[in-house]
Chains A and B, each alone.
Chain A
Amino acid sequence: MAAGVAAWLPFARAAAIGWMPVASTPMPPPPREKRRGQDGLIILNVSGSRFQTWRNTLERYPDTLLGSTERDFFFHEESNEYFFDRDPDIFRHILNFYRTGKLHYPRHECISAYDEELAFFGIIPEIIGDCCYEEYKDRRRENTERIQDDEENENSKDMVPPDMSFRETMWRAFENPHTSTMALVFYYVTGFFIAVSVMANVVETVPCRSEQNRAKEVSCGERYSVAFFCLDTACVMIFTVEYLLRLIAAPSRYKFVKSVMSIIDVVAIMPYYIGLVMSDNEDVSGAFVTLRVFRVFRIFKFSRHSAGLRILGYTLKSCASELGFLLFSLTMAIIIFATVMFYAEKGSTSSKFTSIPAAFWYTIVTMTTLGYGDMVPKTIMGKIFGSICSLSGVLVIALPVPVIVSNFSRIYHQSQRAEKRRAQKASKQAGQALVCKTNPTFETQHHHLLHCLEKTTNHEFVDEQTYETSCMEVSLAKASMSRSSSMSSSPHGLSSCCTRRNKRKSFNVPNSNMVAGRRGSIQELSTIQIRERPVNNSRSSLNAKFEETVPLNSEEQSYITAAVISMPTPPVTTPESGALGNCPDFLQSNIVRVSAL
């Protein structure tokens, strides 16, 4: 698509003749065409497989190996071809990228081999087309995870680097109990005390026969209250010490405090302390009893000891939306059947179905095939609907559970695909933008075309903020005629079409210092030309470099730019994700950076 649209630019420029008679001001001079190289065939010999293509095809993407002068290093004089000692099967896809503008990922290829080839030929993987992008990302993630797992396994067996501080040692001991004997002991001790604490909570509610043979049975907790209190105190001591030690040892205390495990720890030990503080206050004793419920959260501390529990928790968390949907549809069914049952049973005497909410209980019990029997319909209609309800309950819940599970898995992946695509879009566009900065000729010509349009209408492209400021000023200046609308003097001239997007680009940093000098010269020269407004940020001046208003600089500028572009700096892509949101393809990104010079 990119190459194709670029092919239509000559037509668009020719069609601009249609504006000429309407134009109110003279047109800007066209950019000087660089000498057009002869469009010849290039032979690319990749490990014996000969590929041929037009030179222009390769030069569509000047910041890749094949599109730049870097390929001259691979020129083989004897056979008058370019020889690459690489994989010809993967090269086919790379060459297709030049031809069609879309990079595809072949499923049967190994992801590392493919990545290597892409890196060799200077192509960023983010421009892989939508059809293959997901597959590519999935495979890549699997690969990284596999590598990470391998590394982790290796690391855990490694000797501890001797220069670790005591704090780091402690943290490592907490996270990996197998590193040292002390850590293992600590691990088992805490596990034991968790179990003891939970058991104590359970046992203290069991009724024990009282000594004095009273009629009322008391729970063990009340009978041996002192013993249980001591046990509880001991457990809480251990837990508190453990929590404090973890807090001290954590590399990032703030992150540790925010983590789930630490919250569970806190919730597990807080009731005890609150109870200590509030034990004599009668008013809140009810709340105190409720707090004891939270002691059961100690069982969640086991998740540090059990990886399976963690996985389950993570799975539930990630499937939360699907489970919610399941619950919602069940609720709908329950409401429908409850309503129907209520109205069916409305007339019968001494009916237990006193209201629709009362019928909810019957519906749930029937649909899950529990059938307690505390509520039964008496009328014929009620029985008919009741049987329909239980049958549908069986169908809805019991029988297609595997089907539902697989359905939800499919729905989950489908919705995740949209999420993934959205998440990937950002990095995709960032990557595409890095590749998109190509073909300076196209850009100059496109700028010239837009400039002609500006001249025709005698208005300039500005961005939103400048537009609004100018609107405000116009309304302010209605009283005073001080502001002239001349283009030359106005500071609004500093804006360009792409200011809004470019302001957020951190890419400015490497360019800004070398552009700052240029800006001055651009300004000087620009007063001679029809274009009067300088550009205010480096991105548009990046384009301005290719403008022939700066002919003396164009050669070296383009060289510098090429060097800059060929550094795909990963940190650049992420913050730009928002800024580059409007650059889904090659052409769009060029348009974004049009300066209205």
Chain B
Amino acid sequence: MEEGEGEGLQTLAIVLLLCGALKLLHTLGLISTEDRVCDDLELSVVCHRPEALDLLEAQSNFNRKELQVLYRGFKNECPSGVVNEETFKQIYSQFFPHGDASTYAHYLFNAFDSSQSGSIKFEDFITALSILLRGTTTEKLQWTFNLYDINKDGYINKEEMTDIVKAIYDMMGRFTYPALKTDTTKQHVDAFFQKMDKNRDGVVTLDEFILSCQEDENIMRSLQLFENVI
């Protein structure tokens, strides 16, 4: 056998080895040639129906017509009857195209989702809107406190407030006037605590919060701002 034959055989051996390795990897599923898209079928289609109209009317501060209009809009957008966090973030982000509304939307979602189920049903939607639009100022302030209290422990500490304020500033986006400085958020949070934290213990409780807000004319007035939204 010539030396050339040997080399040729070597080449053949290497080529065969490579093919075999590829085939092995393919059988093991490490490489796939087809797209696996079709395999991921949406198996679960959640569909939720709200409670009867009479019940909702009793539970909330809306009348029948308003509930009907609200539900039609809700159902149009979410035919399955529930909103999950992703959809919620998308919807909310559409109103704030300049910046990133996803963080604030996340906190908002948690505030709406009172049962912490991971999705907002129409009842949750109505409960929250009922408070925000038709509730007393105390109820509204309670709801807002609940929004700020990220871990729902009954206290707002500086970290939570910083997160909230940062999320709000994120919605502004990059191009603002005056330009955002690094300590803008911190200043804002400090101002907030200055006003709200009566006993200077570093956390704001619900009572402190409600008391401080009631003292502030601007806040009281602005809480009435969205009365006639529906």
Contacts and interface: CB of A to CB of B under 8 A. Distances in A.
The number of chain B residues touching the other chain, given as a range, is 35 or more
Interface stretch (B22-30, B38-46, B47-55, B166-174): B166-174
Contact of B225 (A9, A10, A18, A27): A27
Contacts of B92: 8, 12
Contacts of B174: 467
A143 interface: no
A379 B3 CA distance: 10
A461 B209 contact: no
A301 B3 CA distance: 59
A453 interface: yes
B4 A346 contact: yes
Contacts, number: 189
A344 interface: yes
A587 B90 CA distance: 12
B144 A18 contact: yes
A5 B175 contact: no
Interface string B207-230: 001000100001101110110111
Contacts of B11: 340, 343-344, 381
A589 B225 CA distance: 26
Given A15-B132, A18-B108, A588-B94, A26 B221 contact: yes
Contacts of A20: 144, 219, 222-223, 225
B5 A591 contact: no
A405 B65 CA distance: 62
B191 A24 contact: yes
Contact of B188 (A9, A22, A27, A452): A22
A466 B175 contact: yes
B97 interface: yes
B95 A591 contact: yes
A7 B74 contact: yes
Contacts of A287: none
A346 B96 contact: no
Nearest to B69: A39
B17 interface: no
Contacts of A497: 98
A20 B144 CA distance: 9
Contact of B179 (A3, A29, A450, A474): A474
A495 B177 CA distance: 10
A485 B184 CA distance: 14
Interface in A326-342: 340
A266 B37 CA distance: 56
Given A7-B76, A22-B168, A347-B8, A12 B176 contact: no
B96 A22 contact: no
A457 B73 contact: no
A364 interface: no
Interface string B126-145: 00110011000000110110
Contacts of B82: none
Interface in A411-445: 445
Contacts of A592: 97
B219 A14 contact: no
Interface residues of A, number: 70
A356 B129 CA distance: 76
A380 interface: yes
Q: Indicate the member of B8, B180, B225 with the most A CB atoms within 10 Å.
A: B8
A405 B40 CA distance: 33
Q: Indicate the member of A17, A345, A457, A459 with the most B CB atoms within 10 Å.
A: A17
Nearest to A468: B175
A14 B143 CA distance: 12
A456 B184 CA distance: 13
Given A12-B95, A14-B133, A459 B192 contact: no
Contacts of B177: 459-462, 466-467, 470, 487, 490, 492, 495
Contact of A453 (B96, B180, B229): B96
A381 B221 contact: no
A485 B230 CA distance: 37
Interface in B8-26: 8-9, 11-12, 15
Contacts of A347: 2-8
A21 B209 contact: yes
B169 A457 contact: yes
Contacts of B69: 39
A4 interface: yes
Contacts of B15: 340
A30 to B, nearest CB: 5
A24 B188 CA distance: 8
A16 interface: yes
A10 B72 CA distance: 13
Contacts of B140: 17
A507 to B, nearest CB: 20
Nearest to B169: A457
Given A18-B108, A467-B176, A381 B95 contact: no
Contacts of B155: none
A268 to B, nearest CB: 51
Contacts of A27: 218, 221-222, 225
Q: Indicate the member of B11, B129, B192 with the most A CB atoms within 10 Å.
A: B11
A457 B172 contact: yes
Contacts of B147: 18
A199 to B, nearest CB: 53
A321 B74 CA distance: 48
B97 A470 contact: no
Contacts of A460: 176-177
B86 interface: no
Nearest to B141: A21
27 contacts: A4-B73, A7-B77, A10-B230, A11-B125, A12-B95, A16-B225, A18-B108, A20-B222, A21-B144, A21-B148, A22-B165, A24-B191, A26-B222, A30-B226, A33-B228, A344-B8, A346-B7, A446-B95, A453-B172, A456-B168, A461-B98, A467-B177, A470-B179, A474-B179, A490-B177, A492-B177, A497-B98
Given A20-B225, A347-B6, A591-B95, 18 more contacts: A8-B95, A12-B92, A15-B108, A16-B225, A21-B213, A23-B219, A23-B222, A343-B11, A381-B5, A384-B12, A450-B96, A456-B168, A457-B188, A461-B175, A462-B177, A467-B175, A467-B177, A474-B178
7 tightest CB-CB pairs across the interface, nearest first? A347-B4, A381-B8, A7-B73, A4-B77, A467-B175, A14-B132, A459-B176
